[in-house]
Chain A
């Protein structure tokens, strides 16, 4: 059962990563990046690296998403390319 979970989460991570690069709305990209970090956190937890999962959940999914949203709020939502 383990590898199915791994594979499912990995597939979702790749989808999130590609979507975060390609989406034109920067706020959407920030949220997708948060989802990517959260899925990474799940993957670390499945692998048994609980400390890393904890860091990823707090830093990656939590605070850095807020920083991105704050930066988008001060600049622009539209991507130039």
Chain B
């Protein structure tokens, strides 16, 4: 089986290498891409969209469809993780551990205990690692700053490197950091499963909704310049604002999907304990 796989990989690689012969040479100034599209983007993007970061202008405006379906792909990945891994089976062969805090006695339950978490009783993970005060404190200090920076990255994608994807991943990473430095239940009590699912779906809806709004205003799908009819700005500025809008949608979807994937993988779909 391994040998067949190796042969298949080598064959595919050979076909791909053979196909690259038809590409224009690397950096060829006479290739179609550098004679028609690139010069237009480079020379006109700033005046057409009022966005100084060319990459954002190309990704979110000129190729808006592409980015929209990238967001849908991310959403589908989160959905697949949820559908494949999430389980509601109540029975656990390891049982449940609850600690009585005043005495420090740990009780092992075969069935799910009906003791609510309080100042007297706390749930323990099966593979319990003592909480480290330094790690917890540092994370508690760092998380708000990372989240602020990720919001800055989303909002400032028009002018500097970054955008919805990067900012969303960073925001999702802070949720993962919270789940690792405290435990999974702490993170899930801050952002619930329903909230994450709604956030992921509404991120995609924000992106598609802006596109549909442009259609309702009489333009084409994702033609942000039509937003100038309802916003007190001219058409070029409306394109910049439309881009910020879709970046926020992308950021929401990516944040939620990162958290959904992590929680489902780390807890094997049980959402009660993990990593």
Known A-B contacts A50-B161, A58-B166, A73-B274; the reply to A66 vs B176 at CB < 8 A is yes
Which chain B residues (246-268) contact chain A, with CB distance < 8 Å?
258, 261-262, 265-266, 268
For A66, list chain B residues within 8 Å (CB): 173, 176, 180, 262
Give CA–CA (A67, B261) in the complex, Å: 8
Q: Is the interface of B mostly helix, strand, loop or mixed?
A: helix
- Least distance between A27 CB and chain B CB atoms (Å): 12
Number of A-B contacts (CB under 8 A): 54
Determine whether A59 belongs to the interface, using a CB cutoff of 8 Å to chain B: yes
From residue B10, how far is it (CB to closest CB) to chain A in Å? 15
Q: Is B275 engaged at the interface, CB distance under 8 Å to the other chain?
A: yes
Check A22 for interface membership: any CB of B closer than 8 A.
no
- Select B262's contact among A53, A54, A70, A81, beta carbons within 8 Å: A70
Neighbour of B266 across the interface among A50, A63, A74, CB < 8 A: A74
Q: Are B169 and A81 in contact (CB under 8 A)?
A: no
In the assembly, what is the distance between CA of A40 and CA of B266, in Å? 26
User: Number of A residues contacting the other chain (C-beta, 8 Å)?
Assistant: 17
Residue count of chain B within 8 Å CB distance of chain A: 24
Interface residues of A in 19-75 (CB under 8 A from B): 50-51, 53-55, 58-59, 62-63, 66-67, 69-71, 73-74
A-B contact pairs, 17 of them (CB 8 A): A51-B53, A51-B55, A53-B161, A54-B153, A54-B161, A55-B169, A58-B166, A59-B165, A63-B173, A66-B176, A66-B262, A67-B261, A67-B262, A70-B265, A74-B266, A74-B268, A74-B274
Q: Which residues of A contact B173 (CB under 8 A)?
A: 58, 62-63, 66
Q: Which chain B residues border A51 with CB–CB below 8 Å?
A: 53, 55-56, 161-163, 166
Among B53, B169, B261, which residue has the most Cβ atoms of chain A within 10 A? B169
Main secondary structure of the interface of A (DSSP, over half): helix
Q: Knowing A69-B275, A73-B274, A74-B268, say if A63 contacts B162 (CB, 8 Å).
A: no
> Chain B contacts of A69 at CB under 8 A?
275
Pair A74/B265 contact, Cβ less than 8 Å: yes
A70 touching B161 in the complex, CB below 8 Å, given contacts A58-B169, A62-B173, A63-B169:
no
Quick one: which of A54, A62, A73 has the most chain B CB within 10 A? A54
Asked whether B165 lies within 8 Å of A55 as measured between CB atoms, the reply is yes
Q: Does B172 contact A (CB under 8 A)?
A: yes
- Give the distance in Å from the alpha carbon of A32 to the alpha carbon of B262 in the complex: 20
